[in-house]
Amino acid sequence: MTVATEAGSEGLVFKPMEQFVVSPLFGGDAVGMFTITNVTLWMALTVLAISAMFVLGTRGRAIIPSRAQSVAELGYGFIHKMVEDVAGKDALKFFPYIMTLFLFIVFSNFLGLIPKAFTTTSHIAVTAVLAMLVFLTVTIVGFVKHGAGFLGLFWVSSAPLPLRPVLAVIEVISYFVRPVSHSIRLAGNMMAGHAVIKVFAAFAPLVLMSGIGILVTPLSIIAIVAMYGLEILVSFIQAYVFTILTCVYLRDALHPHH
């Protein structure tokens, strides 16, 4: 995915995937278990931003909320309603976990949109941990609450009897594919969006350098702005989708019977 032109003496080499490289912040190139990398930095910034929003938002606790308080209250109410509607009232004891997931994802998506920032959620390693945690939580909750009855999730009792074993196999497969699709959906969306912005960003100078591009370059710049707007939407929707799927899986664990 390297675009090189011969215009000019040095030639412009452009790599849209370079923004996803994990590199240590202090000295050396080796990345070990506890190396402080740009991922660590942006995750820390995410946590700081979330804390700042909620500390500032809940400091006043006014009857007529300030802007910061409104944002905090809206976010809280939005997720609370989602958990209640999708997963049921008895899932509300998992609300803090789901709220944390949503805030972490939405903030790291939005922070990644800052130019030169690093999008932590564009790495499958990060999203896979989040998705595996959801998968393990849901499975353990299901078995703790229902014991072997949780396996009824795979036995579709509304289907005709001869069909049920076939459906059971399909249900088991789809259950174990959940963490895979759950994590790749988020990482893939974030990675694809940022790569597209970078590709359009490359068009502008490349076309300008080749001499024909006085008319094309503004188009490319407008395209970047449009893609950026779409990415803001996608950042929020993907965090929403991740959270709502968590709620759906939780509902399955709490009420496994079809």
Rounded to the nearest 10 degrees, the angle between the axes of helix 124-146 and helix 95-112 is 170
- Which of 68, 240, 251, 255 binds other proteins (CB under 8 A)? It is 240
Which residue lies nearer to other proteins by CB, 41 or 248? 248
Kindly list the distances between the CA atom of residue 176 and the CA atoms of 42, 138, 157, 222, 227, in Å, as whole numbers in the listed order: 30, 12, 20, 42, 34
Shortest Å, Cβ 244 to other proteins: 6
Which residue lies nearer to other proteins by CB, 69 or 238? 238
- Which of 39, 99, 244, 254 binds other proteins (CB under 8 A)? It is 244
CA distance 106 to 46: 9
- Which of 13, 17, 114, 233 binds other proteins (CB under 8 A)? It is 17
Interface with other proteins in residues 82-121 (CB under 8 A) = 82, 85-86
CA distance 189 to 238: 8
213 contributes a contact to other proteins by CB under 8 A:
no
Burial class (CB in 10 A: 0-12, 13-18, 19+), 67: exposed
241 contributes a contact to other proteins by CB under 8 A:
yes
Interface with other proteins in residues 49-88 (CB under 8 A) = 82, 85-86
* Cβ atoms 11, 4 nearer than 8 A: yes
Q: Which of 168, 186, 188, 164 is nearest to 176 (CA)?
A: 168
Interface with other proteins in residues 153-192 (CB under 8 A) = 181, 184-185, 188-189, 191-192
Q: Which of 194, 193, 215, 191 is nearest to 204 (CA)?
A: 215
Which residue lies nearer to other proteins by CB, 220 or 243? 243
Q: Which of 186, 216, 189 is nearest to 202 (CA)?
A: 216
Which residue lies nearer to other proteins by CB, 25 or 170? 170
CA distance 232 to 14: 24
Using CB under 8 A as the binding criterion, the count of chain residues that bind other proteins stands at 18
CA distance 138 to 12: 49
255 contributes a contact to other proteins by CB under 8 A:
no
> Applying CB under 8 A, which part among 24-32, 46-54, 206-214, 235-243 lies near other proteins?
235-243
Residues that bind other proteins (CB under 8 A): 1, 17, 82, 85-86, 181, 184-185, 188-189, 191-192, 237, 240-241, 244-245, 248
